[in-house]
Structure 1
Amino acid sequence: MTVHKYQVCSNCVMDTSDTMIVFDNQGVCDHCNTFKNVTLTNWNTGELGQAELTKIFEVIKKEGGGKDFDCIIGMSGGIDSSYLTYIAKEKMGLRPLVFHVDAGWNSQIAVNNIERLIDGLGLDLFTEVIDWQEMRDLQLAFFKSGVPHIDTPQDHAFFATMYKFATKHRIKYILTGANLSTECIRNPIDWMYYQSDSRQLRDIHRRFGTVPLKTFPITSILWHKVWLPYFKGIKVVRPLNYVPYIKEDAKQLLMDRFGWQPYPQKHFESRFTKFYESYWLPQRFGFDVRRVQYSSLIVTGQMNRDEALELLKLPSYDEATLGQELEFVANKLGITVDELNSYMELPKKTYRNYKNQRQIYDFGARVMRSLGLEIGGKR
């Protein structure tokens, strides 16, 4: 095995913990070069982007005429989905149904934020609750598998439930807070494997699970990337890619207008994701997702690189409350803290150790890029 010298990008803060990273002769990584040469040249948030978004929203309004709502918005309570909900209702005049999936890990702040947005905008909320025994067993199976991406069951449930709801109720448009402004640099595939890979999810459950997945929602890449959009006409729209989206400005607006509360870090609206991203990934595997998050903000001009480097010197978790967090996660999963810690010592595995559909994802990505339908960063 070749051991590479440690290196940090001279432009962002991505480093060789991404084993596939490539640097040019100026020390700039391929994440940054992809953003500069591909993403930036195809990403319009000015008049062209807003005109395109207005056209999309006019179609949504027309097709939603006479219905109780004209689209659904997946809402987690985080900054992206919260700001999206505000934009859709207040700026574009849509009548969305706010859709939330409760996988058992909502923080109280997230619950409060969702309620404040719903009440403040006068919208309806639909919440789908995932069977806890099945969710708990599947999450423990991922722990026992030794892979980094133990958050897959939660994310998979979010995707699958929303798509199934849209299919059942013949909803043609799903609005999501996914965006280039804060997510143009993506997590390396070895850090966070594709959450929608049903083949891998089933294989890990078969090997390590004990509770049958009778109600747990399962999707597949072909179902939601091919069947739904091209045969059922269900489209996923990312409105934040068409408008100027500055994270701190959006946060301030939500706080002033709705009393929205910020989180210490992106994705911390889920208590499990907080544990996973701030403790599990960096402590067990050396993967610090703050590098990805900060790098996205750096290349989009929302963060200073020196500031990011200083923040990265601090632990990714709160040392004062770590014990409480571990106890909370263990108790929720019905195990002891000792058992939770024992998973940290298991042999390290990757998605490659289990059945997967990586080839399908790679093929799809190549097709999307060749057609100009994918301008995001590499993965």
Structure 2
Amino acid sequence: MRICSRCIYDETVSGISFDSDGVCNYCKMIDGLKAQYKTATPEGQQNWMGIVDEIKKAGKGKKYDCVIGVSGGTDSSFMVAKAIEWGLKPLAVHYDNTWNTAIATENIRKVLGKLGIDLYTHVVDNKEADDIFRSFFYANVPEIDGSTDIALAETLYRAAAKYGVRYILEGHSFMAEGVSPLGAAYVDGGYINTIHKRYGRLRMRTFPNMTFARFLKWTLIYRIKKVRPFWYISYDKASAREFLEKEFNWKYYGGHHLENRMTAFNHAVYFPQKFKVDQRNNSLSAAVRSGHMNKSEALREYAQPPYVEAEIVPYFKKRLRISDEEFDTIMNGERKFFWQYKTYKQRFERLRPLFYILAKAHLVPMSFYLKYCFPFKSSGR
């Protein structure tokens, strides 16, 4: 098994390639982002504070000058606290897919309550959300939880448009989390429509899907910008957790993406058992690149099976009304991928020059441009 000389990505990772020194293309992507955003340098900090000034100027006289998606997790909780420190006026936004853990819900209440931040929530009908999740399970594709990502993005845009806000702050850090390889996680609104139309049983009435037209409306007409502060400044997830625990009595939920039970099932059971993909390698590789963990430690941790909550599989079966036999058949059966279904991927590729301009203007994330706007080359399939 060939492993990158700098991180723990191996030859089974989608779209991976290695240079003559054994360094993978994903490490080089991170290097490029660090150079572009001057991440964790005085210049990067200065550039970010310049954006903060722009946000304040655009929001002058308004109740809110930015919106921030909150999940009860480390990154989003720390982000809202930093927003107040920077003197911003954030509106917290939450998309409730009805699979939240009690810890996550309480974390949101604790942080927002102490900081005095308003919360905008969109709660999808639980039967409708479950019908979409079930559709992706029946479709045999990896993105069983992809609808949550799309719905959160659409909810953020709707909240920003409602209150005349021009900026969305996202808590992603490529230094702490890496960038998920394309193929391990792809989703768009067209993909959701395709899968649900074929396998769903209920109409999508309350689910906030983002169609291609709505995506262009938010970016080209409303010109709502998406910015990621942690791409500019120094950010350490462990230190952020310590701060949150001390200041808000915030509780850790046990691991990355475990604040939501569907996401926990996806990362701890569905991905690794059906698709042999363990996305812990993203954060572990990031920790190795940044020097927070040596490679041997990361490989030892990666060799251990993911933590699986004792009741998560029975809960999944019960909520989605899937029998033991049907569950086993699907988990051990055919594997399919996004390129076997109708998506917006080819449109994104054809419009790559447009999305490059939008990414440079912060109207779409740069990671979207890098992952979605180039032809996908499968590796390790």
The answer to whether the superposition gives a TM-score over 0.5 is yes
| Correspondences of 1:362-373 after superposition (within 5 Å) | 362-363=349-350, 368=355, 373=360
Contact 2:103–2:259 at 8 Å: present in 1 too?
yes
SS of 1:99's partner is strand
1:359 to 343, 346, 358: 346
For residue 186 of structure 1, what is the aligned residue in structure 2? Answer: 179
Aligned AA (1:146): N
Contact 2:91–2:119 at 8 Å: present in 1 too?
yes
Query: How far did 1:20 drift?
Result: 2.1
Spell out, residue by residue over 1:153-193, the C-alpha distance to the aligned partner (whole angstroms, 9 max, x if none): 2222111122122223322221111222223x322222111
User: In 2, Cα distance between the equivalents of 1:261 and 1:353?
Assistant: 41
Question: Are residue 238 (structure 1) and residue 266 (structure 2) matched?
Answer: no
Structure 1 segments (4+ residues) deviating >6 Å = none
Question: Are residue 209 (structure 1) and residue 200 (structure 2) matched?
Answer: yes
For residue 60 of structure 2, what is the aligned residue in structure 1? Answer: 65
SS of 2:176's partner is coil
Aligned AA (1:10): S
Question: Are residue 220 (structure 1) and residue 211 (structure 2) matched?
Answer: yes
For residue 87 of structure 1, what is the aligned residue in structure 2? Answer: 82
Aligned AA (2:176): T
State the aligned residue count.
Answer: 365
For residue 310 of structure 1, what is the aligned residue in structure 2? Answer: 300
Moved more, 228-237 or 102-111: 228-237
1:10 to 5, 10, 24: 5
User: In 2, Cα distance between the equivalents of 1:222 and 1:52?
Assistant: 32
| Correspondences of 1:110-259 after superposition (within 5 Å) | 110-183=104-177, 185-193=178-186, 195=187, 197-221=188-212, 223-224=214-215, 226-259=216-249
User: In 2, Cα distance between the equivalents of 1:18 and 1:365?
Assistant: 24
Query: How far did 1:367 drift?
Result: 5.5
% identical aligned pairs: 33
Give the gaps of 5 or more residues in structure 2.
372-381
User: In 2, Cα distance between the equivalents of 1:20 and 1:166?
Assistant: 35
User: In 1, Cα distance between the equivalents of 2:338 and 2:202?
Assistant: 22
For residue 29 of structure 1, what is the aligned residue in structure 2? Answer: 24
Contact 1:53–1:239 at 8 Å: present in 2 too?
yes
Query: How far did 1:370 drift?
Result: 7.8
RMSD of the alignment, in Å?
2.1
For residue 3 of structure 1, what is the aligned residue in structure 2? Answer: none
* Inter-CA distance 355–107: structure 2 relative to 1 (3 Å threshold): same
Aligned AA (1:87): K
Contact 2:73–2:104 at 8 Å: present in 1 too?
yes
Contact 1:246–1:302 at 8 Å: present in 2 too?
no
SS of 1:182's partner is helix
Query: How far did 1:134 drift?
Result: 1.3
Contact 2:120–2:159 at 8 Å: present in 1 too?
no
* Inter-CA distance 295–363: structure 2 relative to 1 (3 Å threshold): farther
SS of 1:72's partner is strand
1:98 to 89, 92, 103: 92
For residue 264 of structure 2, what is the aligned residue in structure 1? Answer: 274
Query: How far did 1:76 drift?
Result: 0.8
Spell out, residue by residue over 1:77-113, the C-alpha distance to the aligned partner (whole angstroms, 9 max, x if none): 1111111111101x20111111111101111111121
* Inter-CA distance 290–256: structure 2 relative to 1 (3 Å threshold): same
Query: How far did 1:363 drift?
Result: 4.4
User: In 1, Cα distance between the equivalents of 2:342 and 2:275?
Assistant: 21
Spell out, residue by residue over 1:21-67, the C-alpha distance to the aligned partner (whole angstroms, 9 max, x if none): 1112232211112323x122212233222222222222322332332
Query: How far did 1:375 drift?
Result: 5.7
Query: How far did 1:201 drift?
Result: 1.1
Contact 2:99–2:262 at 8 Å: present in 1 too?
yes
Contact 1:10–1:26 at 8 Å: present in 2 too?
yes
2:101 to 91, 107, 111: 107
Spell out, residue by residue over 1:231-283, the C-alpha distance to the aligned partner (whole angstroms, 9 max, x if none): 21311121222211111111111111111122322111111111101111111
User: In 2, Cα distance between the equivalents of 1:282 and 1:211?
Assistant: 29
Spell out, residue by residue over 1:306-339, the C-alpha distance to the aligned partner (whole angstroms, 9 max, x if none): 1110101111133xx44x2111112222333443
Query: How far did 1:302 drift?
Result: 2.4
